[in-house]
Amino acid sequence: MLIIVLLLLTGYVDFLHASVDCEAVALSDCLPSEFFPVPFPETEAEVDFVCLKLKVYVDCIRNYLEECGNEDASFEEQLKARYEKIDEVLNDVCEKESKLHIDFIGNIKCLKSSILSHNDSCYYKTEAVLKIYKQRFPEQTEHINKNGIYWDEYFCLFEAYDISCLAADAANRCGLQAKNIILEIVKRLNYLEYSCSEEARVELMNLIETLNFEVQDKIQLKEIFNIFN
Ligand SMILES: *[C@@H]1O[C@H](CO)[C@@H](O)[C@H](O)[C@H]1NC(C)=O
């Protein structure tokens, strides 16, 4: 669920770029301050509560997207598509009869601990992976800044590894089903497609074996990139 919340907030930030006029209205209307950050639910009843709030939030944003209008139509379409996906996955996580909901509830306490320790578990590992990636450049950081040619790849690796690390941690702590829940949500939201261009992904797939990553990290990365297929 925190993943969903994080994604929502990420989407929200994008949304703020969509239109300045929308920003003020959406801030006050869609995101009531007493609601965020959402505490991670631990029980079915808490899930119901959070689901209700999130649905209202997502509906509100979708309505604004309908009404706002924007000069950049393709960006707007992209945002709408993203929220449509968020809405679908959210409904599935919240729907009592769905497999995703049942699996989620069955793993909720352990998933919570994995997600809440995400930074502690993955921060240094992610740093280490990015450092190895950078070492392939003779003049190190020069190419890797926001305008550099390798930024897309670097950013993609960062996001992909970070998620793969969370999934691996969930597998260790909670078991395979917990990992699969995370991967399913990531896949269905097209989450990585926002961080990874096709070129960056293909190039990284080719690089994984040649870079000096740990074996486990290579396996994790391949698995996460395979989600796209
Ligand atoms: C994540 O962990 C690192 C290392 O312990 C720390 O420096 C950083 O502030 C943490 N970030 C967050 C968002 O907690």
pLDDT tens string 66-106: 777 666 677 677 777 888 898 999 999 999 999 999 999 99
Cβ proximity of 25 and 63 under 8 Å: no
* Ligand 1 atom at minimal distance to the Cα of residue 124: 4
- pLDDT, greater one: 206 or 39: 206
Q: What is the pLDDT of residue 12?
A: 47
71-75, 149-153, 171-175: the lowest-pLDDT one: 71-75
- For 42-169, strand residue ranges (E) read none
- pLDDT, greater one: 165 or 11: 165
Pull the structure tokens for residue 117.
């320790």
pLDDT tens for 186-220 read 999 888 888 898 999 999 999 999 999 999 999 99
pLDDT at 127 over 50: yes
* Ligand 1 atom at minimal distance to the Cα of residue 120: 2
C-alpha 65/C-alpha 26 separation (Å) is 10
The CA distances from residue 39 to 2, 209, 228, in Å, are 8, 40, 30
pLDDT at 131 over 80: yes
Tell me the CA–centroid distance for residue 123 and ligand 1, in Å.
7
* Residue whose CA lies nearest to ligand 1 atom number 1: 119
Cβ proximity of 97 and 47 under 8 Å: no
Q: What is the pLDDT of residue 209?
A: 92
Q: Which residue has the tokens 């601990």?
A: 113
119 lines ligand 1 (CB under 6 A): yes
pTM: 0.84
C-alpha 21/C-alpha 27 separation (Å) is 11
pLDDT at 14 over 60: no
